[in-house]
Structure 1
Amino acid sequence: MKKIYFYLAFLFLALLIISCKSKTPSAQNSNDITSKTWKLMEINGQPLQLKNSKNNPYFSLDKAEMRYSGHGGCNGVSGTFEIKPEMMRIKFNQGMSTMMACDDLETEQLFTKALLAADNYTLNGNTLFLNKARMAPLAKFVLQE
């Protein structure tokens, strides 16, 4: 009878270890915002109002190169970033941009300013919020498919 309890306890422990290991990667991936393109929807709590709807700002993160790239609405933007997905922390470093003028230049400046000010993010399904400390979100993005 003791052998049966021993085997049952061993089986239970083995199943517990296996189930914990299988859940760990998905928990880490749930905060992963890299290798995706994020389209700007709101800036400083205001819905995006573009003069030219083709100029919708977006960005993506290349984790292999630790670089971000995107489009501010008028100009391409790129630079390096640092991320800690387990803590949902992010830092965009000053990068480079082309210097073309357009109708939505003000939106582009706000977009770039939000990227550089962000120090953390929140992910809710296909919606990404870039935040500064515990203040209201700087920018709201949706996953571009």
Structure 2
Amino acid sequence: MSKPTTTLPEKSQDITGKVWKLTEINGQPIKLKNPAANPYFTLNTKDMRYEGHGGCNGVGGTFEIKQEVMRIKFNQGMSTMIACDDLDTEHAFTQALLSADNYSVNGNILTLNKARMAPLAKFILQK
């Protein structure tokens, strides 16, 4: 008797190992004083850590993911403490990560969500 096979999501739905650049926060396009410092994150499944940049400071920590049901949890991690012009965006970005409990993917757009509320943040796949 053969083992039942588990269907995994298509590779395009796999959000790990990719760089996701922030485009919207709480339904509003981000406005950066320094566009070169666009917040982003990536998920590393080797050690189950996320890392990225909030625009001013590096961010990182551990995460848990259940891709088959599109659930995610970012755990509070480390952050550097440098002040800059885009701290409001950075704070909102960090709060969106820590508040998210699920996500959706539509093409190259990733949306982080909490429960069934409006999206917390939208990201575009960095190529």
TM-score range (shorter-chain normalised) is: over 0.9
Shift of 1:31: 2.7
Query: d(CA) in 1 for partners of 2:22 and 2:59?
Result: 14
Residue segments in structure 1 that go unaligned for 5+ positions in a row:
1-20
Shift of 1:55: 1.2
Query: d(CA) in 2 for partners of 1:62 and 1:69?
Result: 8
Q: Deviations over 1:2-60 (max 9, x none)?
A: xxxxxxxxxxxxxxxxxxx7xx45x3534310000000000000001001101100000
Query: d(CA) in 2 for partners of 1:30 and 1:53?
Result: 27
> Residue 55 of structure 1: which of 37, 41, 51 is its match?
37
Q: Could you state the TM-score of these two structures normalised by the residue count of structure 2? A: 0.93
Query: d(CA) in 2 for partners of 1:78 and 1:30?
Result: 24
Higher percent of residues as strand: 2
Q: Is 1:112 aligned to 2:87, yes or no?
A: no
Residues 124-143 of structure 1 mapped to structure 2, 5 A cutoff: 124-143=106-125
| 2:104 alignment counterpart | 122
| 2:64 alignment counterpart | 82
Q: How many residues align?
A: 123
Query: d(CA) in 2 for partners of 1:30 and 1:61?
Result: 15
Query: d(CA) in 2 for partners of 1:86 and 1:31?
Result: 10
Q: Secondary structure at the match of 1:106?
A: helix
Q: Deviations over 1:41-87 (max 9, x none)?
A: 00000001001101100000001110000000000000000000000
Q: Secondary structure at the match of 2:90?
A: helix
Residue segments in structure 2 that go unaligned for 5+ positions in a row:
none
Q: Secondary structure at the match of 2:110?
A: strand
Higher percent of residues as helix: 1
Q: Secondary structure at the match of 2:20?
A: strand
Q: Secondary structure at the match of 1:136?
A: coil
**Which runs of at least 4 in structure 1 moved beyond 4 Å after TM superposition?**
none
Kindly, what percent of the aligned residue pairs are identical?
71
Q: Secondary structure at the match of 1:86?
A: helix
Q: RMSD across aligned C-alpha pairs, in angstroms?
A: 1.4
Query: d(CA) in 1 for partners of 2:25 and 2:40?
Result: 12
